[in-house]
Structure 1
Amino acid sequence: MTTEPQASIRQKLAIYLAQLPPPAVIKLASGLEREKLRGTTGLPYEMILSGLRPLLAGLRGERPGMPDALRQFCNPFEDLLVNGDDDGRSQGAISRSTMVRVWEWLGEELLPDALPDLKERIADHTLKNDQPALEAAVSVLHASAAKAILAAIEEARGNPEKRKQLERRIGGEGGLEDAREIGAILSIAPAMLKLQAELPKPILNFSEEMVTALKHVYDETHEYAPDEAIYLPFMVMRRLAEPSQILRFVRKIAHQRNDMMISRCELAVFGEVLLAEMEDIARRVDTQRPGHSDLEAMLLDIRRFAHLSKGVTAEIDLRRNGEWGQRLLAARGRVSAAVSQEISRFETELVRALPFHQIGQYGRGGPMKPDVAKAPDRARIERMMSCLRFVNGLSTICESVGVQSHSRSIRQQIETYLSSYEDRLLEELRIAKGVARSNAEEFIEVAADFRGALGEDKQAEVLRRRGQVAARG
């Protein structure tokens, strides 16, 4: 017999856990953490908890349960954790897989004697609900881990062979940078935890009071750790429902709204992060082949771009001749060109989905009627439904990506074609017999679904009622 590979088991477990409702996720995680702290054996705790952590991260409010040493270790940087290994990593984003590798590295090499003792003390204090003793043990864990991680990375920088070994262990250059950021954040863990306690999660609106709270902790931390203080606003940015609102803090520090001045201050990285995400979206959208794109994914990207663009321009004054202004205009131009090229083919797709055919001997200028000799082509119908959902989704954001004129024109062409087709289809339904009649009824339903995809539910319902009347006539 062969044992099923762990990767396969983890994948199946992740699929199962993803189907659990939030209360069940919380209850399962809390129970596992409690039993793990008690030392109960026989369960693959880490495998299950690693599958639960991404789900727990997406839940609102304070995380319940009895945190073990690993969770206490991660608390200062938990807001910065992201799923998967980020090959094109950005500052302030730490891979969960790297976090696990760093924890194993601490236990096996950096703190082989101290870490088991600290884990035992943290479990004991947690079970006894001895908060002062627990906080003291966690503080020692953070300080010891920070010192050990940063010292090992500094040593590896001067030794190419050690650096290669460390990169292999932690996950390449990106993993090594993640590990360095973990060490840096743990070195200011008290400040990170203080700010986490003061601010909600998520932050729906970054109020002036919250901006001031961040500035107070940031200024205090900047006095003794100027390089590490940057992770405080990164943590806050991850909590923001509107990431561009972090620029309110940047404005407060820079005492400027002008992007040309802000782009030169020490916190310019936050504008760079937002612009870089918009540029990534622009590249992704621009490389799609018209007619072969995943329109649902593309629309999500465009919505995100529009959201970020609107947010940035609302928070700071972008100058057209400034670097940031130029970059935003260039990214918007790429998105606009890609979207325009994509939607230009939609009318052709509509003609294929709802075809006419020529009648009489008048050539191309002769009368047309809906072709109901064959049933609707389901593949073409699905493609057109995607196109129409895209057009409808684009209607609220087209101005932010510079395609308002083209988008309105395409929608008008589609609606004109639909109106003409529907009227003639109803006429055909009144006189059609047999298979043609059945096909005509199907096309009525297709046309109504198309109206629904455009957000025109009332027109869809009216068409269905007209179709019922025509069928009786």
Structure 2
Amino acid sequence: MADLSIAHRAALAQLLGNVPDGTLTQLALLAAGMAGSRARDLEEMLDAERLDRVRRARAFAPLLPLFRARPDGVASMVFPAGSMSRVWGIARRGEADFLSILDDDDERNIGRVTQVCGRICVAAAAAVRDQAETVWPAAWSEPEAREKGLTDLACSFDLALLAHRAMPSLKAWVGRPTADQLADLRLLVRDAAEIAPDGAQRMLEILFANLADAALVLRLVSHSSSAAGREVFLAESELAVFVERLIGAVEDRVARISGWRPADVKDVVGPLQEVLTWSAGVLTELDMTIEMRPGGVWGKQVRDARIRINEKLSRLLGSVEGAVDKALPTIRAQTSGRMTRLVPRLDVPVNDEAVQAATASLALLRAVRTTAGVFGCEQQRWSVLEALKESLAAYADAGLETINAGDWPDETLALNMIGTAAGFLELIEATDAARTVRRRAAVAGTPPTFKPLNLPTRPFQAA
């Protein structure tokens, strides 16, 4: 079989350049199982494409996150994903003699590798400015947005060498930096400002893109200057955009849950817990890093967000006991004379829909355990939890007394209701009380053959 022609190779190279990494791996596996010279040619091209991508990833390492939106949805500087491969294709051609240096993994040669990365990024910046239509076709975006994006992209490559040198220190800067490490960060910001008038903000954009936890950018902002931790200074600086983005993201999340009601455990342990945990982290970080002005715009926005989440959580927590009551109905029975008391209704089948709603509400108590304090709801959460422990234990006690007295003809149905109460106790981590109820239920009535509901008993995991 004839080898691949030049035209075939050119077409395949263009095709492989747009294939996702996962698909590229699958193609390599398929090619390895094929016979013939064309299959070997294809393998060779696939190997070359993989090597090229590894080199590109190393050369552009600090800028790679800028070619995709942040997973947390926080606004950030983003470039079209396709422009990365295009600018790389242009930049590497002029630096072909140095590409092999990018394959060196010896830590002793990291300085040499970084210098090559810098050369390629300088070439990339020139490519963006000189071949804008190739790098970022006009059809990809509106003219105004494209023009700004091209400027941002070129300037980002201008700062890439500084960013390469900064990346090893990023973890320390968002942790507990020493005086020397703080000095390094401020020197980085100053060097970036010398490269471009807005270089400080652009450098923080690059570092921000490399932070999985968006709130940590506040530490970079506050550490970048001795005065940057005060709103009165920061609000008037180019770094204010990072604070505004985070506050805006919190407000978006508050709006998202304003009319939300849990219908299933997954609704609580997933979307709601994610919103509350993320928002609590951002608000806590704001409190720790930014000195808000009394009556300032940011301070008012943060207070409003807290109040709205507090109101939503208060309503949800206030509905928990009612949801449990619907799943475990009671009836008022006469005891002696005119005295009455609430006793379990053990003559009705378990309402699966009501149990599901109650389970979701109980999951809320555990899902907000670490965040309720941030939003001023911990006292309410604790009060509801303690009231439920008492009421569920009392429900089980009264029900078991009734069963043992032989007042219910359908013992299996009655014991299922008691089993539901035990399951609820487990959900709120009253394990000793739940174990006692199950042990007593196992020997109650005749015969002791009830099967408890299959309710989740393991601690819920964070989303």
When residues 330 and 128 of structure 1 are mapped into structure 2, their CA distance, relative to the original with a 3 A threshold, is closer
What's 2:255 paired with? 283
Match of 1:379, SS state, is: helix
What's 2:35 paired with? none
State the Cα RMSD in Å.
Answer: 4.4
> 1: distance between equivalents of 2:130 and 2:45?
36
What's 2:204 paired with? 233
Q: Which amino acid aligns with 2:428?
A: L
Task: Show CA shifts across 1:385-420 (max 9, x none).
Answer: 221121223233223113345434443443343233
> 1: distance between equivalents of 2:301 and 2:178?
28
What's 2:83 paired with? 102
Q: Which amino acid aligns with 2:87?
A: L
Ranges in structure 1 where 5+ consecutive residues have no aligned partner? 1-5, 18-27, 29-37, 50-64, 157-161
What's 1:250 paired with? 222
Kept after mapping to 1: 8 A contact 2:58/2:102: no
Mapping of residues 206-221 of structure 1, within 5 Å? 206=177, 208-221=179-192
What's 2:313 paired with? 339
Residue 201 of structure 1 and its aligned partner are, at CA, apart by 8.1
Q: Which amino acid aligns with 1:382?
A: Q
Larger deviation, residues 280-289 vs 197-206: 197-206
> 2: distance between equivalents of 1:422 and 1:274?
47
When residues 302 and 212 of structure 1 are mapped into structure 2, their CA distance, relative to the original with a 3 A threshold, is same
Q: Select the residue among 189, 201, 208 that pairs with 2:160.
A: 189
Match of 1:68, SS state, is: helix
Mapping of residues 138-217 of structure 1, within 5 Å? 138-150=117-129, 164-167=138-141, 180-200=151-171, 204-206=175-177, 208-217=179-188
Q: Select the residue among 297, 322, 331 that pairs with 1:348.
A: 322
When residues 360 and 383 of structure 1 are mapped into structure 2, their CA distance, relative to the original with a 3 A threshold, is same
TM-score where L is the length of structure 1: 0.70
Q: Which amino acid aligns with 1:146?
A: A
When residues 181 and 457 of structure 1 are mapped into structure 2, their CA distance, relative to the original with a 3 A threshold, is farther
> What number of residue pairs does the alignment pair up?
407
> 2: distance between equivalents of 1:387 and 1:416?
17
Q: Which amino acid aligns with 1:294?
A: D
Kept after mapping to 2: 8 A contact 1:448/1:463: yes
Residue 271 of structure 1 and its aligned partner are, at CA, apart by 2.0
Task: Show CA shifts across 1:45-89 (max 9, x none).
Answer: 98xx8xxxxxxxxxxxxxxx9962331343122355645799x77
Q: Select the residue among 216, 228, 231 that pairs with 1:259.
A: 231
Greater C-alpha radius of gyration: 2
> 2: distance between equivalents of 1:471 and 1:208?
72
When residues 425 and 231 of structure 1 are mapped into structure 2, their CA distance, relative to the original with a 3 A threshold, is farther
Residue 175 of structure 1 and its aligned partner are, at CA, apart by 7.9
Mapping of residues 274-423 of structure 1, within 5 Å? 274-289=246-261, 294-296=267-269, 297-359=271-333, 366-423=340-397
Identity of aligned residues (%): 17
Match of 1:455, SS state, is: coil
Match of 2:343, SS state, is: strand
When residues 141 and 295 of structure 1 are mapped into structure 2, their CA distance, relative to the original with a 3 A threshold, is same
When residues 350 and 199 of structure 1 are mapped into structure 2, their CA distance, relative to the original with a 3 A threshold, is same
Match of 1:288, SS state, is: coil
Kept after mapping to 1: 8 A contact 2:406/2:445: no
Task: Show CA shifts across 1:216-260 (max 9, x none).
Answer: 211122122231332333444443768347346425515264323
> 1: distance between equivalents of 2:289 and 2:444?
56
Kept after mapping to 1: 8 A contact 2:189/2:200: yes
Kept after mapping to 2: 8 A contact 1:76/1:185: no
Q: Which amino acid aligns with 1:398?
A: A
When residues 376 and 289 of structure 1 are mapped into structure 2, their CA distance, relative to the original with a 3 A threshold, is closer
When residues 302 and 43 of structure 1 are mapped into structure 2, their CA distance, relative to the original with a 3 A threshold, is same
> 2: distance between equivalents of 1:255 and 1:398?
32
Ranges in structure 2 where 5+ consecutive residues have no aligned partner? 1-14, 30-40, 449-463
When residues 214 and 84 of structure 1 are mapped into structure 2, their CA distance, relative to the original with a 3 A threshold, is closer
TM-score where L is the length of structure 2: 0.71
What's 1:425 paired with? 399
Kept after mapping to 1: 8 A contact 2:400/2:444: yes
Q: Select the residue among 245, 254, 262 that pairs with 1:273.
A: 245
Q: Which amino acid aligns with 1:345?
A: S
Q: Which amino acid aligns with 2:283?
A: S
When residues 300 and 85 of structure 1 are mapped into structure 2, their CA distance, relative to the original with a 3 A threshold, is closer
> 2: distance between equivalents of 1:116 and 1:285?
51
Larger deviation, residues 296-305 vs 339-348: 339-348
